[in-house]
Homo-oligomer: A and B are copies of this chain.
Amino acid sequence: MTGSPHVRRPATLASLAAELGVSRTTVSNAYNRPDQLSAPLRERVLEAARRLGYPGPDPVARSLRTRRAGAVGLLLTEALSYAFRDPGATGFLEGLALACEKAGTGLLLVPVSPEHSEVDAVYQAGVDGFVVYSVSEDDPHFQAVLQRPLPTVVCDQPTGIAGVDRVGVDDRAGMQTLGRHLVELGHRRVGVLCMRLGGQRHDGPADELRQKNSSYSVQRERLAGLRDAFAEAGVAWSDIPVFERFEHTTDAGAAGTAQMLEAHPDITALVCTSDILAVGALGEARERGIRVPEDLSVAGFDGIPEADRLGLTTVRQPFREKGREAGRLLLERGDRNTPEHLTLPTELVPGTTCRELRQSGEFFSGW
């Protein structure tokens, strides 16, 4: 193997040209336009480069000149490292990476730590465009992205940003379908456990005002879909307790479930607005000796692999495709000016965690 100490750039295109007694153009052409010079001359250049340890044109200088960075930036919610623990984000990343590979484009993960609230990193990113994955409407990093004169595509949220492409799913319709499913099974007294609705930490009941004012449209929409479904069955939304959790982890799901069950022990079903939370709910139920689905039905949203393994009733959404489409939208945009909006399909996945209410005629009135 090779093995230089990797110090400082030992040669430049200019020094190489000088050494060889040719012009910079010629050296540049040797790398970028092999057809613009004779084969022997090109070989001479490349040989000299090898000898002098010239690693080829400096990418930054080239980018400045060509106005192409050859990379797209990715802005994620939360800390960057969180993305690798969230199955949804991971799936999205996989799809996006696929698109980047195909285009030979780099993928720059913009460092967003909770501590540093500076948006500096966004302004520092040498990229040709941005993909934004599911951030709050008022996320300062996102606002910084909008300042940069670069094409941008948003996945999921925020929605309705002028001049910006978006790919997502119909969260409201998806959740409505799930809600109807529960209604059909006879459930009328349900609880809802949702993800964070605001930037400030809040764990506990979320009233309707809070729901409505949420800066996360995905959560707003999912709640609205559920409301729609139960309204159809004559159940007022104000009668359905909604609990919120700031963290998106199974632990948070468990804690939220505990809180819900203590406050509302009479619910027959617990709907979680994400599978992660639902997985936590299943754990908490087991912990408490509550049988699912005999004593309590549990449903999620997302369709992550673990949901599948556990037989969780959920709504599946195509994470990988969202990533692929986001990449495609960014990388294959011609000189389109009009923003595109892509809505991918979701699918109700009935599992084994929701049961039909038969005996307890109390809440069942279908006969």
Residues of A within 8 A of B (CB): 1-10, 53, 55-64, 69-71, 73, 79-81, 83-85, 90-91, 93-95, 97-98, 100-113, 116, 118, 120-121, 123-126, 137, 143, 146-152, 158, 160-164, 337
Contacts of A81 in B (CB 8 A): 94-95, 97-98, 101
Contact A100–B109 (Cβ < 8 Å): yes
Contact A105–B111 (Cβ < 8 Å): yes
Contact A84–B93 (Cβ < 8 Å): yes
Tell me the smallest distance from the CB of A92 to a CB of chain B, in Å.
9
Contact B146–A3 (Cβ < 8 Å): yes
Beyond A3-B161, A79-B97, A108-B108, 7 additional pairs, beta carbon < 8 A: A2-B143, A8-B149, A9-B149, A59-B124, A107-B109, A108-B109, A126-B126
Contact B163–A6 (Cβ < 8 Å): yes
By beta carbon, the residue of chain B nearest A4 is: B163
By beta carbon, the residue of chain B nearest A93 is: B84
Contacts of A71 in B (CB 8 A): 108, 125-126
Tell me the smallest distance from the CB of A123 to a CB of chain B, in Å.
5
* A146-B1, A161-B3, A164-B3 known; A109+B110 contact, CB < 8 A: no
Task: Select one of B8, B84, B125, B152 contacting A106, CB under 8 A.
Answer: B125
Tell me the smallest distance from the CB of A276 to a CB of chain B, in Å.
14
Tell me the smallest distance from the CB of A327 to a CB of chain B, in Å.
10
CA–CA, A6 and B149, complex, Å: 4
Contacts of A8 in B (CB 8 A): 149
* A55-B148, A109-B106, A126-B126 known; A80+B101 contact, CB < 8 A: yes
Contacts of A111 in B (CB 8 A): 97, 100-101, 103-107
CA–CA, A95 and B58, complex, Å: 29
Contacts of A2 in B (CB 8 A): 143, 146-147, 161-162
Tell me the smallest distance from the CB of A67 to a CB of chain B, in Å.
8
Contacts of A106 in B (CB 8 A): 73, 108-111, 121, 124-125
Tell me the smallest distance from the CB of A159 to a CB of chain B, in Å.
10
Contacts of A101 in B (CB 8 A): 79-81, 111-113, 116
